[in-house]
Structure formats: C-alpha cells, structure tokens
Amino acid sequence: MDNLICFLLVRNGPLTPAQAEVWITVFAEYQTPTTEVRGRLMGPRCRYSTTVEVAYPLRLPPPQNVPPGALGITMRVFIPEASLWEPESPFLYQGPIELWQDGRRCDQVHLSHGLRDVSLGERGLRLNSRPLTLRGRAVTACSEEEALALRQTGCNLLVAPVEANTLDLVERADRLGFFLLGRIRDQSEQTLRHLWMLSLHTSCLGWLIEEGMHLPLDDLPPRCLVGLVCASASPEVPVGVNFLVGPAELANLGKPVLVMGEGPGPTADPSRNLGSVV
C-alpha cells in the first residue's frame, strides 16, 4: 500500500566548528513497523563559493535519544567541519528524504537546509554567536536579479506579506543570503499553512504581526522571532512578542526595535537597535 510524507520537521542540534548535527522528523500518512525513512544531505553548496560536496547519510538515533511515544520517524545527520549559513555565505546542504513502506520507496521530498543559530537577548541579535545588524527592504515580490542588486547595497533582510508567492521568495532568500520576515495580514487557515511551510526554510527569521491583531502566538511555528508593527507610541505588547517595529523611540519601552522607514535611528545600543527596513 502507498504511503505519503505529510510533513517534515527539521531541527539543528549542537553546532560547533568540529561537527554539526541535524535532526529530521518525518510524519507519514500512516506508520507501521515496516515504515522506513532513508536519504542523505549533500553539501555544502553556495552560490558565491566553490565547494567540495560530500554526502552525509540519514541515520537512526540511539533509542535512548528518542522520547517514548514520540510521533513520526526521527533521523539524524552528522556533518563534520560544517559550513554555517550566513547572509554573506549562505551554505546549504541538500538532498532527498525518502519514505519507504514494506521495502518499497513510495514518496520523496527534496530538502534544502542551512546550519545557523539565531538568538535575541541582552546583547542584541546574534547569528552563529556573532552580532547581526539587519538592513531590510519591504517587498511584495523580488526576482533573482532584483535580489542580487539589493545584496550589492548591503541588504540582508526581506520583509514580505505572508501569501502564496512568498514560498518562492523564501527559497530564493535561502540561496542568495537574505533573512525573511513574513508580515501576517490575516488569521485564515491558508495563512497559517503558509507560516508552517515558510518556517521550514533557513532564511525564515520570523513574523510581523499588526498592533491590535488578536492572534494566538502559540499557534505560530516555534523557533521564530515575533515582531509587533506599532501604529501608536505606546502599544499594548502581547506576551511572546520579541521586538517592536516602528520609530526608534519605541526602544524606550524596553524591547529591541527594528526601525521602519528612514534608517537605524539615534540609538546605537545593539541590544535595542536591530537595524532598519525601508
């Protein structure tokens, strides 16, 4: 009987200069003792660098590392001397993830994944343990040529509405070296599906919600930052919002600010100034 891959969950394990670890959980239409996951990641690949690609097979983790009753089939990949993803050097590891049932391959998806660690804390925004300043552009669409031209200006962030064509944009951002913030315009089921698809991509930094939007933040995909686009000088900030978007003066409210409009603003404190979007 045929079986299908319904969803993939990809997580980075420890990232060190010596070795990286990637955990891939496959959720199938159904699962039996003869359901298997096979595949490999190959890389690194980067548009801006010549690389030597190596294939890294998916392997089952030790049973003690899988929580009892865990859903899906979890595999892991070890990558020695890994190349991390950054806007300046967007290294990707890519390859097939195959679902086998009763000894027969019945479904396959192509995974493209970058190794990176983003954190927002008291020392500001950091990528792979180094400070990161965002220089963004608000777009509704962006061709390959337009993206490369923006990159030449120092742009490393695209802000786009969450809709169907954003799925093409986020794939381009993965390859060309941009972070992406998806601006949520509505709370439809289709938009929520798009959020989960976008969250699988390395370039997906998180989401922007509008002031006054009553969106349950627990419904949003995990491990993504959430910014509040402020229409007033003293907004009501929901629990779970990581930063504010608007004029630099919003930093007085005690949260980091991504300045929207004319530039980075007067504050040079990296813990309060994430960068700017024009």
Q: Which of 128, 110, 125, 96 is nearest to 201 (CA)?
A: 110
Sorting pLDDT into bands at 50, 70 and 90, what band is 86? very high
- Return d(Cα 275, Cα 278) in angstroms, integer: 10
Output the CA torsion sign for 13, 270, 221, 87: negative
The domain spans of the chain are 5-113, 120-277
pLDDT tens per residue, range 218-263: 778 878 999 999 988 889 898 899 999 999 899 888 899 999 876 5
User: What CATH number was assigned to the domain covering residues 5-113?
Assistant: 2.60.40.10
Check: pTM over 0.85? Answer yes or no.
yes
CA distances from 189 to 74, 193, 220 (A): 27, 6, 12
pLDDT score of 14: 85
The stretch 68-76 carries a mean pLDDT of 84
pLDDT score of 266: 47
Could you tell me which residues are beta bridge partners of residue 89? Answer: 86
Per DSSP, helices labelled H in 104-234 are 144-152, 166-176, 189-199
As its CATH architecture, domain 120-277 has Alpha-Beta Barrel (3.20)
Q: Does this chain's domain 5-113 share its CATH topology with 120-277?
A: no
